[in-house]
A and B are shown apart, each in its own frame.
Chain A
Amino acid sequence: MNHDSYPDSYIRGILNTVKTVAMVGFSPNTARPSYFVFKYLNERGFKVIPINPGHAGKEFLGQTCYASLSEVPEPIDMVDIFRAPQFVVPVVEEALKLTPKPRVIWMQLTIRNDEAAAMAEAEGLKVVMNRCPKIEYGRLSSEISWMGINSRTLSNRRAQNLGGGFQRMGLGDGRKPGE
């Protein structure tokens, strides 16, 4: 995988298939970016599990916080890492010891660690670095376009409403499978 730029189909494929996301480096401070992403993805139908040893056992938006990935009592599809690059390798090492293994390692905007990425890819995981899943979801669902942001997508199909409200869009591209 070339980690300088990702095809939209790669990102869409990931966000369309993962359900349970463990967020390492979650902050309970509601003004922090990790909290924004946590709340947004939860509101878009993902189950986001906060990981933060300082807050283990507490609940945030109905989700129990755990001290580490290995303590999460259910399978994790994707690990979203909000830690500085030098702390990423141990997180990925821990993720690779889980059974079942997560399918995706995601490192947040500004975070990139090629060594960790190579470890995960060697085990067959998909990796995304230096991207924000909230921004990518907003871009590919067209929600972000409401804020005048350049989604870098064009389409002759309408954006798909997710249901449960007017301003929640889904990730379908308006095409039937195989179309």
Chain B
Amino acid sequence: MADAERTPGFDTLAIHAGAKPDPTTGARATPIYQTASYVFDDVDHAASLFGLQAFGNIYTRIGNPTCAVLEERVAALEGGTAALAVASGHAAQVIVMQTLLMPGDEFIASKKLYGGSINQFNHAFKSFGWNVVWADPDDISAFERAITPKTKAIFVESIANPGGTVTDLEPIGAIARKAGIPFIVDNTLASPYLCKPIDFGADIVVHSLTKFLGGHGNSIGGIIVDAGTFNWSRDKKYPMLCEPRPEYAGIVLHETFGNFAFAIACRVLGLRDLGPALSPFNAFLISTGIETLPLRMQRHCDNALAVAEFLSKHPSVAWVSYGSLPGDKYNALAKKYVPKGCGAVMTIGLKGGYEAGVKLVSNVKLFSHLANIGDTKSLIIHPASTTHRQLSDQQKTAAGAGPDVVRLSIGIEDVADIIADLDQGLK
């Protein structure tokens, strides 16, 4: 922008951030740099790159210009200093925790999380010696009580999957700040269009790009955003950032890279050594998707609210959980954190229980019965007969996946068609 002093708005950033015309060809769309590697200019250049003394590309496991466009775009939309795109939302969580925790350390996580994250934290992470301590987001003091000298981070979702529930970010962020540990927010369900967690105290934001940012259900991806807010050197608790790294001839990443050191650490230590790189083709599809994020997200919200209102009056429906619905338990939090709408995802309870859930997913003609959210298409799943099938009824209910529960991800089709499909499916 010629007038660099003007601060661009969100919708402008969604289209332009990270994506200048290609320096080599002038191509206006972001080229797909489908290459594994990059020639060095000369031996000195190679040495500078490997020593982190120059900015540039070495090998696509560590960085790729198409992925970099996506990274800068999401960093700009979230208001962060930098980002690192990786192969999936789950990979993003692995890399964040590997950068922060040593074996035997703890982190506190909200009990209301995507089921896959609950599994990841309870099983895979424990096998690395990273011990999760669960806290109920409806009782903020639970987070404070859970802090021990071994606690290295707090992890929550801004809008939690599947519930349509909203997390009170600000006081949890304050607890993290007081304890001198970073506050990590998974912002997948809200997207930065609805909520910018950094404004409410997040030090690190993660996403499954698979969902609303990509937006079209065609690519798996994840991203880590560095808010640039955390002082990694203060208490010397984070050796990946504050101690000389033998991998890089003794440089201290926080001292060298300042307020984007966390993103650099995730890239040059975490991604380099663990390896879950994002394919440039997926990065291209996801950053193209982001160009329409503001339009899609508003439509998702408008449609979802209309559906929630319809279902809350439907004789076959016992309850609807959607934060933007007046009278919802999370309505006050929704007004504060996601005033433009509570996203696309909601859960509903059917009066007919398990049988009614199975019948609804079988009857629908427009909704797709599958395990995903955040597509342009409307999606439906009955957790009790699918993702949570192996649990006892008691465990299902505790996980918010009781026999009567159906999760909807409302698409951006004509809302009248979405409502008509649910209406006929509930008959």
Q: Which residue numbers of A lie inside 8 Å of B, CB to CB? A: 7-9, 30-31, 33, 36, 39-40, 43, 109-110, 132, 135, 138, 142-161, 164-169, 173, 175
Contacts and interface: CB of A to CB of B under 8 A. Distances in A.
Contacts of A166: 38-39, 41
- Residue among B39, B244, B256 with the most chain A CB within 10 A? B256
Interface of chain A, helix or strand or loop or mixed?
Answer: loop
A80 B267 CA distance: 29
A165 B4 contact: no
B103 interface: no
B55 A9 contact: no
Interface in B1-45: 1-2, 4-5, 8, 12-13, 16-18, 20-24, 26, 38-39, 41-42, 44-45
A149 B63 CA distance: 12
Nearest to A145: B72
Contacts of A8: 4-5
Given A167-B56, A167-B57, A43 B20 contact: no
A164 B63 CA distance: 22
B264 A36 contact: no
Nearest to A158: B21
B249 A147 contact: no
Contact of B2 (A109, A149, A175): A175
- Residue among B4, B12, B16, B41 with the most chain A CB within 10 A? B4
B83 interface: yes
Contacts of B85: 148
Interface of B: 1-2, 4-5, 8, 12-13, 16-18, 20-24, 26, 38-39, 41-42, 44-45, 48-49, 51-57, 63, 65, 67-69, 71-72, 75-76, 80-85, 244, 248-252, 255-256, 258, 260, 263-264, 267
A27 to B, nearest CB: 11
Nearest to A144: B55
A150 B76 CA distance: 6
B247 to A, nearest CB: 12
A3 to B, nearest CB: 16
Contacts of A173: 2
20 contacts: A8-B4, A31-B251, A31-B252, A39-B48, A43-B48, A145-B20, A145-B69, A146-B55, A147-B63, A148-B71, A148-B263, A149-B72, A149-B75, A151-B72, A154-B17, A155-B1, A158-B23, A164-B41, A165-B42, A167-B41
A31 B55 contact: no
Contacts of B2: 173, 175
Contacts of B81: 149-150
A174 B18 CA distance: 16
Contact of A40 (B8, B17, B53, B75): B53
Given A33-B256, A145-B18, A138 B55 contact: yes
Contacts of B250: 31
A44 to B, nearest CB: 9
A166 B20 CA distance: 17
B20 A167 contact: no
A100 B49 CA distance: 36
A150 B75 contact: yes
